[in-house]
Each structure stands twice: as structure tokens, then as C-alpha cells.
């Protein structure tokens, strides 16, 4: 099984979700199933069906998270020494060469990506264009609106 890179923050979020699913959500759905069973005929019991569906979702998510954590390679960006190159976990300041607009992104794993927070997936077109580049380089990104050029203003490992 291949390892999947994830930041320490991403691993902590997955562990917290797993803990919540096991200690809160799973017992709650078990109680809901027991309550629905007490109402009698299960063949026409919508509450029972809904609780069983919810239980299936919770158990599936638990297995998914456990699998991701087992395959995870946890990376602490602060411990990286990539010599100024853009690598997984790096925070990159970019300037759009056309508009002059500046943006800052951190390259993270698939599960922790959130563009609103400036966290981009390692598999995204912009992250793939940035990997391996250094401060001062220009990255050419194939975006839905056409090709965009970004100058790398700064690379930090935080």
C-alpha cells in the first residue's frame, strides 16, 4: 500500500474525527436503533431504516479514516529542509504576473485541502506546477480560464 502525505494538522483533524465517530456518533446511532426496534414492526419503520443507514455511513467513515491514517506519512512542514524549493507542506506566496494579485497557499494532502483557508491539494494543477520550483521562478498553470503565470515570491516551511 502506498503512503499518502499528510501534514500534522491534517492527521490531528482525522484523529479527532475518528475519536468523535467512535465515542459519540456510534453510541448515539446504536441507541437510535434500539429505540426504533422498541416500536415494533421493523418492515415499515422509517426510523429504524434511517438509523441503520446512518450506522452504515458511520462504520464506513471509521474504516476509511483508519485506512487513511494507516497509510499516512505525517510530515511536519517546520522540520523540512528543502533548500527553498516548493515541496509538500510548503507555504508559497505567489504573484499573478497578469493582474499583480498576491495569494498565499500551503500545499497539503487531499483530505485537508480548503481553498478558502489557502490550503491546496498536492494533486491540484497549481500545486503540481509549483512543486520543485524556487523563489523567483515562474510557474505556468493550466487553469479553466486559460494559462496563468505566477511568480514565486516566497517559500516558507511553517
The grid coordinates of residue 56 equal: 452504515
Cell digits of residue 115: 481553498
Give the E-state strand segments of the chain in sequence order.
4-7, 72-75, 91-96, 102-108, 119-121, 138-143, 146-156
| Cα(140)–Cα(148) distance, integer angstroms | 6
Confidence check: pLDDT of 144 > 80? yes
Sequence-separated (6 or more) residues with CB below 8 Å from residue 81: 157
Tens of pLDDT, residues 35-81 = 988 887 777 788 899 999 999 999 999 999 999 999 999 999 888 87
* pLDDT value, residue 1: 61
42 to 30, 36, 147: CA distances (angstroms): 15, 8, 58
pLDDT at 124: 92
Amino acid at each position: 500500500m502506498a503512503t499518502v502525505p499528510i501534514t500534522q494538522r491534517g492527521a490531528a483533524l482525522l484523529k479527532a474525527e475518528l475519536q468523535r465517530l467512535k465515542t459519540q456518533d456510534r453510541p448515539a446511532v446504536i441507541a437510535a436503533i434500539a429505540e426504533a426496534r422498541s416500536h415494533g414492526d421493523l418492515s415499515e419503520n422509517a426510523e429504524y431504516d434511517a438509523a441503520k443507514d446512518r450506522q452504515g455511513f458511520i462504520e464506513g467513515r471509521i474504516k476509511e479514516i483508519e485506512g487513511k491514517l494507516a497509510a499516512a506519512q505525517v510530515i511536519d512542514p517546520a522540520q523540512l529542509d528543502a533548500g527553498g524549493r516548493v515541496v509538500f507542506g510548503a507555504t508559497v506566496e505567489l504573484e499573478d504576473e497578469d493582474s499583480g494579485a498576491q495569494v498565499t497557499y500551503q500545499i497539503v494532502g487531499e483530505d485537508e485541502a480548503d481553498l478558502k483557508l489557502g490550503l491546496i491539494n498536492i494533486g491540484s494543477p497549481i500545486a503540481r506546477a509549483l512543486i520543485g520550483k524556487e523563489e523567483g521562478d515562474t510557474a505556468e498553470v493550466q487553469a479553466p480560464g486559460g494559462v496563468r503565470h505566477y511568480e514565486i515570491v516566497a517559500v516558507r516551511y511553517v
